[in-house]
Structure 1
Amino acid sequence: MLKRAAVLVVSCGAWLAGCGTAPELENDELISNLVEAGFPADDIMVVDGVVYVGRDAHVTLQASRELLQRGEGSTEQYRTTNLVGTAVTKICVNPTSGFNGYARLSQGLDLAIANYNALGLRITFARGPTTGCTANITAQTMSGTGGSSGYPSGGRPYGTINIGTGLNTSSVDLNEHVITHELGHAIGFRHSDFYNQGISCSPPGSEGSAGVGAILIPGTPATATVGGSLMNSCFRSTDTGEFTSSDITALNYLY
């Protein structure tokens, strides 16, 4: 059974300058694909919304995907326009007393923090309260069996993750999955299937740019699959809470 892991977003009207049209989002992916495929960035140009290489060779989005010759079972990764700045080195995740009252949520938080710290990124996470924090995130509860978060602003991670208390009756691994996912949003990751949530959820639908951007991360493939990423829109009861190989590629590229 699939459950949706929600993310709080600001409406497009509130972030008018950051709202991209569907063609603009497609061109962002197209250009990223061409760069990954080996085309020099200065050999790519956009004229009247059309992407060219070599100044006169029009390339479609589908053609750019085929250039990469990606295998089956791969998944894509997208990020927001804003990321966590270099001034942030230690992010402390501070659970409320209510959060700590749920044993499996509490265990899941420890495992989620360990997921990120195992990668040796330039940012580390720590369970608070503790010292040396350059940014803080509050972990608190909500009703249901999902989670919610938001995106970075001003070079800082989003300040809150909300985790459903209904998860306390699920496995520790599933709690780990949801908390790791919501922390991913807090440092700038979009859903890997944001453009078609029908890949991991039902019914299908697109989140669009959500006013925060949807930028393909170089080195990650362009086909989302069920279970292919911890950042898929929806999760399954069998999810392990561990990063996939493309999740790790994306995290290492950004941080």
Structure 2
Amino acid sequence: MYPKKIQLKYAICLALLVALFSSCAQKDKSTNEAAPEASIQEMTNYLTSLGFDKQKIVFEADRVIVESDIIMTLPELQQRTITWNKEKAGGPQTEQRRNTYIISNTYNNNVRIFIESSVPTAWRTAIQGAVNNWNAVNGTRLGMSIITSASGVYTRVFMGNAPGQSWIARAYLPTSNGRPGVSVEINAYFNTLSASQKLFAITHEFGHTIGFHHTNQTSGTHIPGTPTVDANSVMNSFVLNWAGFTSGDVLATQILYPQ
């Protein structure tokens, strides 16, 4: 039997240990709860630094949607944010120095596109036409092709259905490791668009998958030598009837993907 003083001493030590572990657990809990909010704030700061409107940034479970039709996965956005923070702190610069990633030479001469079976014929025609459009731009190494197997695919095209939403289609930007945007989603709500408008829309979305932002907005980095205003650019954020690339579209593609 321990003396009372020793028992009291152990009781005090035990109480202190319990309090310490409780405090640590509470601290860990608070840290874990605060992390997602801080992470989202940092990612938001990164996106607004590129010129995106904070009011047009929507975080979902595993991705973020900006300006209605530009998509990034959360892991990809987190990696971009980490790189951005390092660059702000004067750390090592990455190979990409423009804030907007483009496709590396490993992939850009044959961007393989797979079309899901659910995509209607009219949209398939537009997809083939969009591929032809980008392949016809002279003076670049950029090339696209449609493949019949999902094996080794770089960009997947599939149907979504968002009645009442303003987006006709939306696409992922290239990843930080130089791969094309992983997918283009078409809103079935706009199946009634004319063939010419469908062609414009898909050509536009493929533009996002290879690294272009909206011409008529301030996100991304202006490509030196190209117009700052280009009313008929395929990369404007509204859909027109297809009338071909503007000289600004062609020049921008030649600058990003020279032969």
The reply to whether TM is greater than 0.5 is yes
Structure ID, larger Rg: 2
Q: Is 1:187 paired with 2:210?
A: yes
Task: Measure, in 1, the Cα distance between the counterparts of 2:227 and 2:244.
Answer: 19
Query: As a proportion of its length, which structure holds more helix?
Result: 2
Structure with the bigger RCO (C-alpha within 8 Å, sep 6+) is 1
Question: What CA deviation, in whole Å up to 9, does each residue of 1:98-149 have, x standing for no partner?
Answer: 01xx121011001100001111431211111279x97621010112460111
Matches within 5 A, 1:54-93: 81-88=100-107, 89-93=109-113
What's the TM-score, normalizing by structure 1? 0.59
Q: Partner letter of residue 254 of structure 2?
A: N
Task: Measure, in 2, the Cα distance between the counterparts of 1:13 and 1:253.
Answer: 25
Give SS of 2:235's match: coil
Q: Is 1:172 paired with 2:195?
A: yes
Question: What CA deviation, in whole Å up to 9, does each residue of 1:166-190 have, x standing for no partner?
Answer: 3332211111111111111111001
- Cα 1:244–1:13 change in 2 (3 A) is closer
**Total equivalences in the alignment:** 171
- Cα 1:179–1:134 change in 2 (3 A) is same
Specify which of 227, 238, 242 is matched with residue 234 of structure 1.
Answer: 238
Q: Is 1:219 paired with 2:225?
A: yes
- Name the residue aligned to 1:7: 70
- Let me know the Cα RMSD of the aligned residues: 2.9
Q: Contact (CA 8 Å) 2:114, 2:153: kept in 1 or not?
A: no
Q: Report percent identity of matched pairs.
A: 25
Query: As a proportion of its length, which structure holds more strand?
Result: 1
Task: Measure, in 2, the Cα distance between the counterparts of 1:143 and 1:80.
Answer: 31
Q: Contact (CA 8 Å) 1:148, 1:162: kept in 2 or not?
A: yes
Matches within 5 A, 1:22-101: 81-88=100-107, 89-99=109-119
Q: Is 1:112 paired with 2:130?
A: yes
- Name the residue aligned to 1:62: none
Specify which of 124, 144, 150 is matched with residue 172 of structure 2.
Answer: 150
- Cα 1:18–1:178 change in 2 (3 A) is farther
Higher mean C-alpha displacement, 134-143 vs 83-92? 134-143
Q: Is 1:160 paired with 2:183?
A: yes
- Cα 1:117–1:92 change in 2 (3 A) is same
Deviation (angstroms), 1:223:
2.5
- Cα 1:176–1:241 change in 2 (3 A) is farther
- Name the residue aligned to 1:252: 254
Higher mean C-alpha displacement, 181-190 vs 119-128? 119-128
- Name the residue aligned to 1:63: none
Task: Measure, in 1, the Cα distance between the counterparts of 2:202 and 2:149.
Answer: 19
- Cα 1:16–1:183 change in 2 (3 A) is same
What's the TM-score, normalizing by structure 2? 0.58
